[in-house]
Amino acid sequence: MTVHAPIPDYAAARESMVDTQLRPEGVNYPPVVEAMAAVPREDFVAPEAKPLAYIDRTVPIGDGRLMNGPVVLGKLLTEMTPLAGERALVVGCGTGYSAAVLRVMGLKVIGLESSSTLAALARGAGIHVAEGPLEEGWPKGAPYDLILIDGAVEHIPEAMAARAVPARSIPGAGVSRAPVAAARPAAAGAVLPAGPACAAHASRARWPAVALPR
């Protein structure tokens, strides 16, 4: 007799993610919360990592890469305040989870990925993906309203930042936002090198950054 492990209740896990991870950490921007509650995170991780999809840690997605935890993504998107109809570039989009969240929020999204294996998985999830080096962004679709680096870096490369529109105020909110965001420090999940080539823009860039969970 073969005994099969019970299938996790992923819908309940998403609800718990919102209530016990996102909201307590200040992720309360309704479009972000609603989108993250709707997108099945388990569909974007490596098969063996599905039971871990909703823990607030980096999770393997394949090809040696990791997906940031929910709080990291939630905080970055809350800081960026994406608006429906805007154009977004997700650099190092991996299997496409962050891009899928932005798409559910009503944005027009392009993912940029250097791994053909991960790019194919993201396309399988319906994400529009361009393949190529990550450091300079994807010039063919520029300028972008928002650029999300889906990993951790110490500095935003100047060439990439140049692909985004200038920082501007959010209509009706009276606050300004930076158009480029990434997690830091450069650690597990990093998709760009952190070195002298990336440092030129650091002193002039305003960009949201949150620390990766240990």
User: What is the phi/psi pair of residue 178, to 5°?
Assistant: -85, 145
Predicted pLDDT of residue 193 = 38
Helix (H) or strand (E) holding 146: strand 146-152
- Enter the DSSP assignment of 18: I
pLDDT band at residue 201 under the 50/70/90 scheme: very low
Domain limits of the chain? Answer: 10-199
Tens digits of residue pLDDT in 112-168: 999 999 999 999 999 999 999 988 899 999 999 999 998 877 778 888 888 888 766
* Beta carbons of 143 and 165 less than 8 angstroms apart: yes
**Domain range 10-199, CATH architecture:** 3-Layer(aba) Sandwich (3.40)
The C-alpha atoms of residue 148 and residue 90 are separated, in whole angstroms, by 5
Per the prediction, the chain carries an average pLDDT of 82
Token output for 92: 């190092």
Spatial CB neighbours of 30, under 8 Å, sequence gap ≥ 6:
none
